[in-house]
């Protein structure tokens, strides 16, 4: 039975503050390419791994997080969503050669319970890596968060933070498809150019070059904001609140600016939720899993017809995965951050 | 034509920080008891005036508030909801002797546009003062905020802050009628006793005597909070957030602890909105005005059958109105604060 090398990215120590590459280790393990006979597990060859902001939370010591979620285990591979090829399966629903998307581990080969697979990839006329982004959890997050949580109407004024990210770039495009006016903020000139010239945002600005975010918001939203798609939290949220319009909606997708702070920034303008009767709602893609088939039906034709585009930041090799993940929190990535472990 | 004395409570100066009695003046004006012939105004004799937390906001200089709402005018009477008797009317919908509830002024007699009247009082077998509370805006606020915004289900765990106040005491009773478990916080032993022994809360505590609010919440909500009816804001909200349960709701009715602060307290735990997929929604009773008839139908039998009780803090005389209003912000009132201007 073939025992092969199995390179892994493991957590070396729990993280306080911003994560560093040195918080992770590249370990050369081995694995037997065989599913134990008494299991219904699936052996996967991992192809594309997704770097997602929530992963930072799982790098925190469980007691410090006190969220009742299972954080990463020290000296074990990180987990995350990815696109993989089935090497062997003892679950009759999957067979060798199937391409699947779901929760896997940051290593070359993974033995996982088949229940962790979200779906078999059927449509391969689009880039496989898209299943970590526009056709995977980030896509469904944007779809559910925008259409379901924020109830957009034609003509709504939409503001998206972290707008060039995996989710933000889609929210902006979905907003345009819905007849909204949409402005995005991002952290570099390159990203702002992308938003305006490739992703179809009406306006975009580099928040790092705006000494007064409130003035920037007033410039782009003279009549206020109907939907603020929240990806960053903290001071940005605090500045947005007084700029919300009557009956505005704030779908809360993430607060990436806060995850690395030992003391999050205080938000002082929440009384504007009352003054403007604003709904602010946290959500999680897991609440939308039932929408996945409907979402793929919606998204695939848009991709094929070029009506929605997707910007990816693809890094080659598992050994470069720690740097790619760490880069999420400094905004180093331009578009969805993907790690290629192996080409199909 | 009779010209009579018209005592008024006027705003002497705009308020910064906590309001003081000396921010208001008692002025002895006069008024002609006659509606001008070319108007459709109504002349009211004011009977009961309502002291409401939002009034503090209208005592702020408009530029400082920057909410686009019309604040009070210096040296003019405050405005607010009240129960009044029609003295003369040029609107055919009202006639002398009608009892009405609506927006009036803090004075003995008010000449107002009839559009400011919310409704004619039909049911007088209940205390007239109730129309400033349980049968008026506070009642409708509790009704709409609890049933409409927070979608209660039997068995939900409900936490109410400012629970002995005009709205909070009703939310707790509505929650019990809905089969919820309900805990209230208030600022004195007397109020806590009321909550437990008269208003039917399952539990209540004096927040001033809890050195660790988080520990108190964990004591009363071992499995977390489904609905937090928010009346106070600031640190209370910040402590509640990590105690919310999956898919919890936070109807935001008020943030009275913040209205007098020049710098509101920062709320740092908003990321829990994502972790627990919580909906936090600001609302305003004006959004529920269409529910008023339905609400009265709901509330009147409950009052008559003693299934809902209402605690009022009634002060006699317009000259005592400034102290009564100021007392709201230190929690001096026990129950709904009402000022009697004249008995019917």
Task: For the domain made up of A137-286, give the CATH fold.
Answer: Rossmann fold (3.40.50)
Report pLDDT digits (tens) over B85-101: 999 999 999 999 999 99
Residue A260 pLDDT: 83
Residue B160, H or E segment: strand B157-160
Looking at every residue in chain B, the average pLDDT score rounds to: 95
Residues of A with CB under 8 A from a CB of B: 66-67, 69, 233, 237, 242, 252-255, 258-259, 263-284, 287
Question: A278 vs B282: CB contact, 8 Å cut-off?
Answer: yes
Say if residue B65's pLDDT is above 70.
no
Residue A68 pLDDT: 65
Q: Where are the domains of chain B?
A: 3-133+310-340, 142-286
Measured CA to CA, the distance from residue B230 to residue B258 in angstroms comes to 12
Question: What token pair was written down for B16?
Answer: 């910064």
Question: B270 vs A272: CB contact, 8 Å cut-off?
Answer: no
Question: What token pair was written down for A18?
Answer: 């911003």
Report pLDDT digits (tens) over A237-279: 999 999 999 999 999 999 988 888 888 899 999 999 999 999 9
Report pLDDT digits (tens) over B149-208: 999 999 999 999 999 999 999 999 999 999 999 999 999 999 999 999 999 999 999 999
b/e A94-104 (16+ beta carbons within 10 angstroms → b): beeebbbbbbb
Residue B66 pLDDT: 62
Lowest mean pLDDT among A209-213, B63-67, B317-321: B63-67
Choose the CATH number for B142-286 among 3.30.1060.10, 3.40.50.300, 3.40.50.720, 3.40.50.10490.
3.40.50.720
Residue B278 pLDDT: 98
Report pLDDT digits (tens) over A292-321: 999 999 999 999 999 999 999 999 999 999
Report pLDDT digits (tens) over B4-23: 999 999 999 999 999 999 99
Measured CA to CA, the distance from residue B335 to residue B328 in angstroms comes to 10
Q: What is the mean pLDDT of residues A98-119?
A: 97
**Termini Cα distance of chain B:** 23
Nearest to B106 by CA among B36, B58, B165: B58
Q: What size, in residues, is chain A?
A: 344
pLDDT tier, B1 (very low <50, low <70, confident <90, very high otherwise) = low
Question: B282 vs A275: CB contact, 8 Å cut-off?
Answer: yes
Residue A65 pLDDT: 65
Q: What is the mean pLDDT of residues A163-186?
A: 98
Report pLDDT digits (tens) over A11-42: 999 999 999 999 999 999 999 999 999 999 99
Residue B70 pLDDT: 81
The answer to whether A52 and A81 have CB atoms below 8 angstroms apart is yes
The answer to whether B118 and B140 have CB atoms below 8 angstroms apart is no
Nearest to B232 by CA among B274, B195, B192, B184: B184
A258 vs B contacts (CB less than 8 Å): 271
Q: Which CATH class is domain A3-133+311-340?
A: alpha beta
Q: Which CATH class is domain B3-133+310-340?
A: alpha beta
A271 vs B contacts (CB less than 8 Å): 233, 255, 258-259, 264
Q: What is the mean pLDDT of residues A159-168?
A: 97
Nearest to B327 by CA among B199, B166, B161: B166
Residue % of chain A over a pLDDT of 70: 98
Report pLDDT digits (tens) over A48-90: 999 999 999 999 987 766 666 789 999 999 999 999 999 999 9
Say if residue A1's pLDDT is above 70.
no
Residue % of chain B over a pLDDT of 70: 98
Q: What is the mean pLDDT of residues A147-151?
A: 96
User: What's the gap between Cα B268 and its chain centre?
Assistant: 27
Decide if the complex's ipTM is over 0.95. Answer: no
Question: B273 vs A281: CB contact, 8 Å cut-off?
Answer: yes
Task: Provide the number of CB pairs (under 8 Å) joining chain A to chain B.
Answer: 99
pLDDT tier, B2 (very low <50, low <70, confident <90, very high otherwise) = confident
């Amino acid at each position: 039975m073939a025992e092969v090398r199995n390179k892994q990215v493991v957590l070396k120590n729990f993280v306080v503050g911003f994560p560093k590459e040195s918080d992770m280790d590249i370990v050369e393990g081995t694995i037997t390419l065989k599913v134990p006979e008494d299991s219904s597990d699936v052996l996967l060859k991992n192809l594309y791994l997704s770097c997602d902001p929530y992963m930072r939370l799982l790098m925190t010591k469980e007691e410090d997080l006190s969220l009742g979620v299972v954080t990463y285990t020290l000296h074990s591979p990180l987990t995350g969503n990815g696109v993989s090829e089935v090497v062997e399966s003892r679950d009759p629903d999957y067979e060798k050669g199937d391409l699947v998307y779901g929760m896997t581990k940051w290593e070359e080969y993974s033995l996982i319970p088949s229940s962790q697979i979200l779906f078999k990839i059927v449509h391969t006329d689009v880039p496989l890596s898209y299943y970590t982004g526009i056709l995977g959890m980030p896509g469904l997050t944007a779809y559910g968060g925008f259409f379901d949580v924020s109830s957009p109407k034609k003509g709504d004024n939409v503001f998206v933070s972290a707008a060039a990210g995996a989710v933000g770039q889609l929210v902006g495009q979905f907003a345009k498809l819905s007849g909204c006016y949409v402005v995005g903020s991002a952290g570099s000139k390159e990203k702002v150019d992308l938003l305006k010239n490739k992703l179809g945002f009406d306006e975009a600005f580099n928040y790092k070059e705006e000494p007064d975010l409130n003035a920037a918001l007033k410039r782009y939203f003279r009549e206020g904001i109907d939907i603020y798609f929240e990806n960053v939290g903290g001071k940005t949220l605090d500045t947005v609140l007084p700029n919300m319009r009557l009956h505005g909606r704030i779908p809360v997708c993430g607060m990436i600016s806060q995850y690395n702070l030992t003391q999050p920034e205080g938000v002082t303008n929440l009384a504007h939720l009352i003054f403007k009767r604003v709904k602010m709602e946290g959500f999680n893609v897991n609440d939308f899993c039932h929408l996945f088939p409907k979402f793929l039906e919606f998204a695939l034709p848009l991709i094929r017809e070029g009506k929605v585009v997707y910007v990816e930041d693809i890094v080659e090799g598992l050994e470069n995965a720690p740097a790619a993940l760490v880069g999420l929190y400094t905004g180093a990535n331009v578009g969805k951050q993907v790690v290629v472990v192996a080409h199909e």
